[in-house]
Structure 1
Amino acid sequence: MVKKILQAVGFGVFCAILILFVAPQVNNKLNFNQNTKIVSYHHAVKIAAPAVVNIYNQSFDLASDNNGLQVSSLGSGVIMTSSGYILTNRHVIDNADQIIVALQSGTIYEATLVGSDILTDLAVLSIDAENLPTIPQNPHRPYQIGDVVLAIGNPFNLGQSITQGIVSATERNALSEGGRQNFIQIDASINKGNSGGALINTAGELIGINTLSLGKNASDIAEGLNFAIPISLANKVMTKIIRDGRVIRGYFGVGTELFYSAKQLGVGDRGVVVTSVSENGPAARAGVKTNDVILQIGDIEAETPRQIMGAIADMKPDTNVKVLVLRQGKEILLNVTIGEFPEIK
């Protein structure tokens, strides 16, 4: 009995000594872990967030008690100039009787619609303000698949929120009528109210305008399929809308969604294959035919369908250009007068 008591006492003393020696070391480790740097995007958000606004699309409803106005839809926008130009999605402000913009500072403005573009789902708004915050852009730092990105917006009118993900793919256009949007595909969540908000990189630089997502309906099984419009395209559209009130595009008159590169169809190492020609369009009138391989338009070498579509869109209507095509192994030079891309309602 005495032996067991001594063993118990000895074990207790051993444990006490062990605690005295080990506890300080554990505490030191805890202190070390508390000082370890964590990965944070706080700096990037701090740079960009003040320039992301909440947008409310209000329409008249005679049955409403709020002076006949009610919020039809909500979304987000990005302040693009310190003088008050704002980019958002066209579907955010579509059919609005009144557009309200709320800055993160709490200031409220009634916005004027400068113009919109259905092909890119972009719209430009203007508010009467000065010295507004903007988001830096860096065209010398291109985004890449795998880059970490942050989406900033106002989901479900909860207030400004940030979601994080990566660039899943680039140059997506399967969802775009006419292939004009050239989406950045991301897996950062975009919910109702995020449309028109900012997509930034971890340096706080603006790289896109968030626009839509797939897989949000109960019948859908897709997850993490979200899209943004590259800021290079958005800037180009914004400039045209501010200048002309709309986007004026050059029109060639071939089925742009049916363009293929010559390599894709195995008919050559360069060029873009025409698989349909619009009746009475500029291309048809100049003699362009189905299965022609476009080698050059003006001084632009044809490399990819997207590149050629972009080049034609940037041409002014009534511009005369020489188009070099390959037809049955023979090069033919045609004179084409660029038309104006038909407006889509």
Structure 2
Amino acid sequence: MKKVILLSLLTFTLVYAKEGVEFKYAPQTIEREHPTSQNRILSYNNVLENVRTSIVNISVKKEVSSAGLSANPFYNDPFFREFFKGYGQVPQERIEQSLGSGVIISQNGYIITNNHVIDGADEIIITIAGDKKEYEAKLIGKDEKSDLAVVKIEAKNLNAATFFNSDKVKVGDVVFALGNPFGVGETITQGIVSATGRNGVGIVEYEDFIQTDASINPGNSGGALINSAGHLIGINSAIISKSGGNVGIGFAIPANMVTTVATSLIDSGKYTRAYLGVNIADVDSDMSSFYDNNYGALITSVEENSPAAKAGLKRGDLIIEVEGKKISSASELKNTIGSYAPSKTVNLKYLRDKKISSLGIKLGTSENKTVDGVYEYKGMKLSEISTAERQQLGIKTNGVLITTVDEKSEAYKAGIRKNDIIIQVENSEITSLEDFKRLSTSKEKKRLFVYRRGSIYAVVL
């Protein structure tokens, strides 16, 4: 017996306006064109065969500790490690393995992948389609804000991917996702570009994703998204899914962002973004009416002594264009400024009192600066403690909250961890992010007093 599921049953009455409805019809002479026949097979094999050896599988090994005293800074002292033996609290070390993908970007062995694929890895092993050799890779640099990283293997004459200008990618373009999903081996899936310029997804700090329905699954991270000509348009990064499997919503980092970040990582081992010094917000339709129905990035505050302050920008200005590029949202301005090198002078257009003005601004560097309420300092990211965070984490003290810590930073080695709170620097108590910034400007090492779950300890940074 067949089971029929009715998705919906609608009863409606069509009411015509007095003037009637004039429907728009397609021409009756349209003919179907058959792209193939029984004597021909439609195939992208020639394109894919050339690009498949540009894709690599990445196997990562990392040593991790089980929960316990490993988060306590005193555990770094050998005496305390010995003292706690026998009490069942000494963390056990174990080797964790994971799989991902990468793309060869140069003949001499540079490979681009996602930061989350290699983050914290003690060993990175690369294998290439058609090559039985395993290569041990060296980490060249990583940028967690865009989720990109570059590694290198000792090899020559590799098949480097051909990059495509991702600004020219169009919705509806046929694309292929290449990678190593679920560790089953080299796999290719097909789809189309569903959207471009996707941001606000909440995956990383700088988002300008290409969205696709080509199947992207765990293990595809760091792999290639290519067009039907075999050119790289993006690096597969993430999916939206309740089950963990593909549901047709995948995201790739656009090729233009990849080349910008990768070049800097190869040259200097890090990517330092330009800094404008403003907090910004989107405008809705009501707010847009105050700016002659323009949209852009609304300045909500200007940091003192920042490039924006020196140029004369003010709260309430609406930035609508940077270097000839139209700005329609706060995230678009953030991505645009972040794509420039520090010290670059850019031309910026803005609306103030219904008048469009333009000016040149020499951008600063984002290192040790507050960007969107987050201050970066020696491998840590710090922010003010919100009411929601106080309730969620049970915080009952003043200070600044550590939101992330780079595992290879001096701060991490000193025992500082995510969700710790810095409450004092030397002899001065901290009540705000401005307090911490003021007291941490010199390069001399200082005593930091840190609050964690009811206890206070001190470190030197």
TM-score (norm 1): 0.77
Tell me the number of residue pairs that the alignment of Structure 1 and Structure 2 aligns: 304
Which residue of structure 1 lines up, in the alignment, with residue 74 of structure 2? Answer: none
Residue identity in the other structure for 1:282: P
Q: Does 1:252 align with 2:255?
A: no
Residue identity in the other structure for 1:250: A
Which residue of structure 1 lines up, in the alignment, with residue 168 of structure 2? Answer: 142
Post-superposition shift, 1:87? 0.4
Q: How does 1:122-271 map to 2 (within 5 A)?
A: 122-139=148-165, 142-176=168-202, 180-217=206-243, 223-256=247-280, 258-260=281-283, 265-266=288-289, 267-268=291-292
Higher mean alpha-carbon deviation, 123-132 vs 320-329, is at 320-329
Distance in 1 between residues matched to 2:176 and 2:321, nearest whole Å: 39
Q: How does 1:63-78 map to 2 (within 5 A)?
A: 70-78=95-103
Post-superposition shift, 1:61? 5.9
Q: Which has the higher helix share?
A: 1
Higher relative contact order (CA 8 A, sep 6+): 1
Post-superposition shift, 1:325? 3.9
- CA displacement, residues 32-67 of structure 1 (integer Å, 9 cap, x when unaligned): x9942222222222011111111011013699xxxx
Distance in 1 between residues matched to 2:356 and 2:37, nearest whole Å: 71
Which residue of structure 2 lines up, in the alignment, with residue 341 of structure 1? Answer: 366
Distance in 2 between residues matched to 1:177 and 1:141, nearest whole Å: 21
Which residue of structure 1 lines up, in the alignment, with residue 54 of structure 2? Answer: 51
3-state secondary structure, aligned to 1:74: strand
Residue identity in the other structure for 2:270: R
- Given the superposition, is the C-alpha separation of residues 89 and 140 from structure 1 closer, same or farther in structure 2, using an over 3 Å criterion? closer
Distance in 2 between residues matched to 1:141 and 1:294, nearest whole Å: 21
Distance in 1 between residues matched to 2:229 and 2:351, nearest whole Å: 46
Q: Is this contact kept in 1: 2:288–2:294, CA < 8 A?
A: no
3-state secondary structure, aligned to 2:99: strand
- Given the superposition, is the C-alpha separation of residues 339 and 261 from structure 1 closer, same or farther in structure 2, using an over 3 Å criterion? farther
Runs of 5+ in structure 1 lacking a partner?
1-32
- Given the superposition, is the C-alpha separation of residues 93 and 190 from structure 1 closer, same or farther in structure 2, using an over 3 Å criterion? same
Higher mean alpha-carbon deviation, 312-321 vs 233-242, is at 312-321
Residue identity in the other structure for 2:55: V
Post-superposition shift, 1:143? 2.4
3-state secondary structure, aligned to 1:156: helix
| Aligned-residue CA RMSD (Å) | 3.3
Post-superposition shift, 1:195? 0.2
Distance in 1 between residues matched to 2:178 and 2:219, nearest whole Å: 10
Which residue of structure 1 lines up, in the alignment, with residue 137 of structure 2? Answer: 111
Distance in 1 between residues matched to 2:101 and 2:117, nearest whole Å: 8
Residue identity in the other structure for 2:181: P
- Given the superposition, is the C-alpha separation of residues 292 and 155 from structure 1 closer, same or farther in structure 2, using an over 3 Å criterion? same
Distance in 2 between residues matched to 1:235 and 1:326, nearest whole Å: 32
Q: Is this contact kept in 2: 1:154–1:193, CA < 8 A?
A: yes
- Given the superposition, is the C-alpha separation of residues 337 and 138 from structure 1 closer, same or farther in structure 2, using an over 3 Å criterion? closer
Q: Is this contact kept in 1: 2:167–2:256, CA < 8 A?
A: no
Distance in 1 between residues matched to 2:296 and 2:202, nearest whole Å: 20
3-state secondary structure, aligned to 2:195: strand
- Given the superposition, is the C-alpha separation of residues 88 and 122 from structure 1 closer, same or farther in structure 2, using an over 3 Å criterion? same
Residue identity in the other structure for 2:275: Y
Q: Is this contact kept in 2: 1:54–1:103, CA < 8 A?
A: yes
Post-superposition shift, 1:312? 2.7
Q: Is this contact kept in 2: 1:56–1:71, CA < 8 A?
A: no
Q: Does 1:89 align with 2:92?
A: no
- Given the superposition, is the C-alpha separation of residues 39 and 248 from structure 1 closer, same or farther in structure 2, using an over 3 Å criterion? same
Distance in 2 between residues matched to 1:264 and 1:187, nearest whole Å: 34
- CA displacement, residues 66-89 of structure 1 (integer Å, 9 cap, x when unaligned): xx8734321000001010000000
Distance in 2 between residues matched to 1:136 and 1:317, nearest whole Å: 28
Distance in 2 between residues matched to 1:323 and 1:230, nearest whole Å: 24
- CA displacement, residues 153-184 of structure 1 (integer Å, 9 cap, x when unaligned): 11111111111111111110122567623111
Which residue of structure 1 lines up, in the alignment, with residue 105 of structure 2? Answer: 80
- Given the superposition, is the C-alpha separation of residues 335 and 186 from structure 1 closer, same or farther in structure 2, using an over 3 Å criterion? closer
Post-superposition shift, 1:310? 4.7
2:296 is aligned, of 272, 285, 293, to 272
Residue identity in the other structure for 2:44: Y
Residue identity in the other structure for 1:36: N
Residue identity in the other structure for 2:122: D
Residue identity in the other structure for 1:142: K
- CA displacement, residues 294-315 of structure 1 (integer Å, 9 cap, x when unaligned): 3666xx2462146644553344
Runs of 5+ in structure 2 lacking a partner?
1-35, 67-92, 368-375, 382-403, 405-461
Which residue of structure 2 lines up, in the alignment, with residue 292 of structure 1? Answer: 317
